[in-house]
Chain A
């Protein structure tokens, strides 16, 4: 708003003026930045002040600001944070909870700013802001200096690959604009910046509330000769490095307009492309040459940042999730890799559990195969860990169900940054940055054997299947499975009962009952069940398996074998009255922990193949219902066609 050149030669028409003005504005460079730092250090205030000084607040908004500021800040000042803190609970508590996205511009640049929360509990929200930014303003309170939360945010900035950081030493008005106070902090900041590899970390003494060194140079701090906040923001050099480097375009959508047209739509995340370039399709390795780029731009080539449609010179198999990449410099393709992982969900992340990974436009199930170490975000120390709580950071190994194409995050954010999605709640529970591929998948090739599964099944005279009995301890899983086993044997089938308790005596002897160990317990049982089914058996698995996710994983491990989830549903009171193993009594007495239904949840299946209410029918009748589910064995019979 401030840069409006209205005075113009008489004869110039509005259209001509606008054409000129827009051309000039469009030539402005742009910067995406975030504000971060400890709670109450003045991030929102600084940003609000900047918007105000840059003349980016409308009068009606200002009028409201005047009203609402009363009683919140000293008479005569404005509570600029109110321009940013837009949620009711934020205004009530006077803190920022979620990121606010704001826009402003100066004569030189346009800015997109993420105002991030400082509170430790909302660290993940700060990280989302950092994932979108090129530069950061890190605030500290001149009275307090660098705090734990300041370091934490600085580490996250470094982790997210932000190299341009200005540290605003705020509230200088409260320390009498004292030079030595500032210089003490500046020295500490310089050390931190060096340790984290920030390229141009500058310290600036400011008063967000009064406006000193924000847009205008402070009269109270004549001793400071560095840049003001705005001068720094206008001069940060984040030149479009993404245009250099090998071409990458994750395919979002395949366009079929009419019979002959096949175009691959996506946003270019790296490099440039022109007709005639040879590209590789990552999943198949096929190659093709770019025939046409839509829309057509002047120079005939498209560059990083643009959304385009590419037409190739020949028919190759390309679908969403593929990456079209420079054929001479393809990305890494692997199914196991090391990554830095930030945990975002309420529930802890656990090795062995499966998540859906969203990388570029690809979506693939992955699990954490090793939690190598947790990184203390405050001290950067490496710690041992068995699980990851919300806002915790770790280095992990991940295994994907199939190979994916990526570049290390350090080289390319869009090709190396991913999120993990919970398979049941669909919540975003993790954000990760790939470090490098672990080529172990290539070292243990899958051994192919000559006897096909069908032949094996025919020899046994049955089709293998997995019947997964889940339910509370004492619900009746083993009792029912035992009868089913007997009846199947009697009719000439080959069943086998894999009982959780028995497996814990041998294969799973090393596992306890924590959530992490339960995940591993179920994973191993599912793998064994799968092997037995591969051998041609009908496997009856009895396991409490309290977590829906883990049962979903078991189903997935079963692969093409028929999988029946059988929920043996008994109310806790009934199961507890039976208490065949004395578990509940011990739990109630406080002697043992982690008993599903008592101190850890049992997540009842929402859509099991069969639900048996074990307290209102005899076990024989319930077993018959299982046989009925198998259509009295017909499902298991090998037929000729």
Chain B
């Protein structure tokens, strides 16, 4: 039996997580100092929640002074929207919400369009529209390099041309902490303060700082159906059931959240943060496993990012 002794004294200023925190705060402050109209992208998930927490820490004792943007596809879990609104009310930041109404009117839904078409319209185009609508020149996002192989190649300050495209072959070299934040007219920057965090760092930090999360992350009995090897939650009555499908109640939780028809849950009874952290330490699957959209095609994330996806 291995028992890990608590170290006699950890100087917390040097701890791994505090270093990551310091680096992220420096990145956020850099955005604040170098851009005209920054925005923080808030997807309501755990990474966004950590990002929001860091952005607030970065400016204490001043409040978070730039807006927070949610690109709403119209198909997020209801609990996400409730959490978003209560968080905005509690923390008092300016919340902007944008939906690609045109695509919604054209009838693009997760059930009528392919996942590639749906995601392109509601997420990629939705975000691009929002960037243009409010004239943002820098968008801070919660993407991490450990999420996916093409993300592992992306810069912290990731330059976008006027069409908001990511060009993997002409990325600006990034040296030391001497970030190049310059833009030509029409160009923009996507900035990733959590680049060097792993999924586990994010969970550890949530535990250490007591950050509040959407309840979807915690296991409880939920109405689900089995699709493509994963559990899909029947979040509202817009979900068409196929012949032979009947929703069942199972104790599940989500490792990563997005649009409910595309987000798979895992069997779990971890109902508290500590239980999740324990479960995390024995899991054998990556967090993107439950996402149906990444499997569309090989290199799909890279292609989407080139088109302007986050």
Q: Which residues of A contact B (CB under 8 A)?
A: 1, 3-8, 13-15, 17-18, 20-28, 30, 58-61, 83-89, 91, 97-103, 110, 112, 124-125, 127-128, 131-132, 240, 252-253, 255-258, 261, 263, 265-267, 294-295, 297-299, 302-303, 305-307, 309, 320, 344, 356, 358-361, 413-414, 417-419, 421, 425-428, 431
C-alpha gap A532/B134 in the complex (Å) = 47
Residue of B173, B204, B302 touching A22 (CB-CB under 8 A):
B204
- B16 pairs with A13, CB closer than 8 A: no
Partner of B3, one of A8, A25, A59, A267: A8
The verdict on A18 contacting B278 (CB below 8 Å), with A101-B145, A103-B196, A414-B176 known, is yes
Chain A residues with Cβ below 8 Å from B285 are 58-60
Nearest-CB distance from A347 to chain B (Å)?
13
* Closest Cβ–Cβ distance, residue B35 to chain A (whole Å): 12
> How far, in whole Å, are A318 and B207 apart by their CA atoms in the complex?
37
Whether B307 sits at the interface, judged by CB under 8 Å, is no
Q: Are A6 and B282 in contact (CB under 8 A)?
A: yes
Q: Are A253 and B60 in contact (CB under 8 A)?
A: no
Contact yes or no, B286 A255, CB < 8 A: no
Whether the Cβ atoms of B10 and A305 lie closer than 8 Å is no
Q: Does the CB pair B173–A431 fall under 8 Å? A: yes
Task: State the Cβ distance, B298 to closest chain A Cβ, in Å.
Answer: 8
Q: Are A255 and B62 in contact (CB under 8 A)?
A: yes
B25 cross-chain contacts in A, Cβ below 8 A: 267, 307
Smallest Cβ-Cβ distance to B205: which chain A residue: A22
Question: Which of B107-115, B124-132, B147-155 faces chain A?
Answer: B147-155
Q: Which 4 A-B pairs have the closest CB atoms?
A: A86-B149, A14-B274, A257-B62, A58-B286
Residue from B12, B148, B178, B299 whose CB has the most chain A CB atoms within 10 Å: B178
| Chain B proximity of A279: nearest CB distance (Å) | 19
Nearest B residue to A21, CB-CB: B4
* Contact A431–B153 (Cβ < 8 Å): no
Give, as a whole number of angstroms, the nearest-CB distance from A26 to chain B. 4
Which stretch of B67-75, B84-92, B95-103, B164-172 is in the interface?
B164-172
B249 at the interface (CB under 8 A from A): no
Pair B178/A419 contact, Cβ less than 8 Å: yes
| List of A residues within 8 angstroms of B19 by Cβ | 30, 305
**Chain A, Cβ-Cβ closest to B195:** A101
Tell me, yes or no, whether B32 is within 8 Å of chain A by CB.
yes
Are B6 and A23 in contact, with the CB atoms below 8 A?
Answer: yes
Contact A305-B22, Cβ < 8 Å, known A4-B281, A358-B179: yes
* A contact residues around B62 at 8 Å (CB): 255-257, 261
Q: Is B106 an interface residue (CB 8 A)?
A: no
Considering the complex, give the chain A residue whose CB is closest to the CB of B3: A5
B208 at the interface (CB under 8 A from A): yes
Contact of A15 with B299 in the complex, beta carbons under 8 Å = no
Kindly state whether residue B214 has any CB partner on chain A within 8 Å: no
**CB<8 Å pairs between A and B, sample of 13:** A1-B281, A4-B281, A21-B4, A22-B207, A23-B7, A58-B286, A86-B302, A100-B152, A102-B146, A294-B61, A307-B29, A361-B30, A426-B180
> Is B148 in contact with A417, judged by CB distance below 8 angstroms?
no
Given the known A-B contacts A24-B4, A24-B7, A358-B180, are A427 and B152 also in contact in the complex, defined by CB atoms under 8 Å?
no
In contact, B2 and A128 (Cβ under 8 angstroms): no
**A18:B277 contact, CB within 8 angstroms:** yes
Is B153 within 8 A of A14, CB to CB? Answer: no
Count residues on chain B whose CB falls below 8 Å from chain A CBs: 80
User: B-side interface residues toward A, CB under 8 Å?
Assistant: 1-7, 10-19, 21-23, 25-26, 29-30, 32-33, 57-63, 145-146, 148-153, 168-169, 171-180, 182-184, 187, 195-196, 198, 204, 207-208, 272-275, 277-278, 281-286, 289, 298-299, 302-303
Nearest chain A CB to B161 CB, angstrom units: 11
Known: A320-B33, A413-B176. A257 touches B169 (CB 8 A): no
| Residues of chain A with a CB closer than 8 A to B207's CB | 18, 22
Given known contacts A5-B2, A26-B17, A88-B299, is B12 in contact with A131 (CB within 8 Å)? no
Let me know if B29 and A86 touch, CB within 8 A: no
A344–B15 Cα distance when bound, in Å, is 35
Beta-carbon nearest neighbor of A100 in chain B: B152
Knowing A103-B198, A257-B62, the reply to whether A26 touches B152 (Cβ < 8 A) is no
Docked complex Cα distance between A306 and B5 (Å)? 27
A417 near B16 (CB under 8 angstroms)? no
Cα distance A8–B145 in the bound complex, in angstroms: 33
CA gap between A361 and B32 in the complex, in Å: 13
| In the bound complex, CA of A330 to CA of B16 (Å) | 30
Distance (whole angstroms) from the CB of A18 to the closest CB of chain B: 4
Question: Which residues on the A side are within 8 Å of B6 (C-beta)?
Answer: 20, 23-24
Q: Which residues of A contact B59 (CB under 8 A)?
A: 255, 257
CB pair B22–A27 under 8 Å, yes or no, is: no
How many Å from the CB of A104 to the closest CB on chain B?
9
**Quick one: which of B15, B196, B278 contacts A6, CB cutoff 8 A?**
B278
A17, B274: Cβ atoms under 8 Å?
A: yes
B182 lies within 8 A of A421 (CB): yes
Shortest Cβ distance from B157 into chain A, in angstroms? 10
Asked whether A4 lies within 8 Å of B282 as measured between CB atoms, the reply is yes
Contact call A306/B16, Cβ cutoff below 8 A = no
Given A4-B282, A86-B149: A419 in contact with B26 (beta carbons within 8 A): no
Chain B residues whose C-beta falls within 8 Å of the C-beta of A295 in the assembled complex: 57, 60
Is B176 within 8 A of A86, CB to CB?
Answer: no
CB of B149 within 8 A of CB of A100, answer: yes
B7:A98 contact, CB within 8 angstroms = no
Rounded to whole angstroms, the CA-CA distance of A113 and B59 in the bound complex is 30
Q: A5-B4, A306-B18, A320-B33 are in contact. List 11 more A-B contacts (CB 8 A).
A: A1-B281, A5-B2, A6-B282, A14-B274, A21-B4, A21-B277, A26-B10, A252-B30, A253-B32, A257-B59, A295-B57
CB distance from A387 to the nearest CB of B (A): 19
- Is A302 in contact with B13, judged by CB distance below 8 angstroms? yes
- Structural contact, A359 and B33, CB atoms closer than 8 A: no
In the complex, what's the smallest C-beta–C-beta distance from B292 to chain A, in angstroms? 13
Q: Which residue of A lies closest to B157 (CB)?
A: A428
CB-contact partner of B274 in A15, A125, A132, under 8 A: A15
CB of B124 to closest CB in A, whole Å: 18
Known contacts A18-B278, A101-B145: A361-B286 contact under CB 8 Å? no
Cβ distance A309 to chain B, nearest Cβ, rounded Å: 7
Most buried by B among A101, A124, A344: A101
Is A306 in contact with B13, judged by CB distance below 8 angstroms? yes
Complex contact B61–A25 (CB within 8 A): no
Minimum CB–CB distance for B219 against chain A, Å:
13
CB distance from B119 to the nearest CB of A (A): 18
Pair B182/A356 contact, Cβ less than 8 Å: yes
Chain B: minimal CB distance from A88 (Å)? 4
**A131 in contact with B175 (CB, 8 Å):** yes
Q: Is the CB of B7 within 8 A of A306?
A: no
CB-CB under 8 A from B153, the residues of chain A are: 86-87, 98-101
Report the minimum CB–CB distance from A31 to chain B (whole Å): 11
Partner among B10, B33, B182 whose Cβ is within 8 Å of the Cβ of A426: B182
A581 → chain B closest CB, angstroms: 35
Contacts of B32 in A (CB 8 A): 253
Which among B13, B176, B282 has the highest number of chain A CB atoms within 10 Å? B176
Bound together, the chains give a CA A419 to CA B177 distance in angstroms of 10
When the two chains form their complex, are residues A428 and B180 in contact, meaning their CB atoms are under 8 A apart?
yes
